[in-house]
Amino acid sequence: MSAKLSSETTVVVENYLTVPEVCSRLRLGRTAVYGLMERGELAYAKFGKSRRVNLLSLAEFVRRSTVPARTS
């Protein structure tokens, strides 16, 4: 028997990425992504034993990691 998700629940679930999805978007390996999480550089949520990264958290990580261009 499968449970149906409400539209509100679906929106929340769609805002979170799995570790493989984060790896794909950042072009990093699984170990590197878990390392970022363990060092507190990439915020995540735990659902049971699974880790999920909110899209806003991923965007914030990329923003913090961006090195500004030097002007000559």
Cα distances (Å, whole numbers) of residue 56 to 1, 2, 4, 70, 71: 33, 29, 26, 27, 29
pTM equals: 0.78
Tell me whether residue 39 is in a domain. Answer: yes
Q: Give the structural domain span for 43.
A: 14-65
Tell me whether residue 4 is in a domain. Answer: no
Are 54 and 16 in contact by the 8 Å Cβ rule? The answer is yes
Total of domains in the chain: 1
Spatial separation of the C-alpha atoms in residues 70 and 19, rounded to whole Å: 33
Average pLDDT over all residues of the chain: 89
- pLDDT tens for each residue of 3-31: 566 665 555 678 999 999 999 999 999 99
pLDDT of the residue at 1? 47
**pLDDT over 70 at 70, yes or no:** yes
Tell me whether residue 23 is in a domain. Answer: yes
Are 25 and 58 in contact by the 8 Å Cβ rule? The answer is yes
61 contact partners, CB below 8 Å, separation of at least 6: 36, 41, 42, 43
pLDDT of the residue at 14? 80
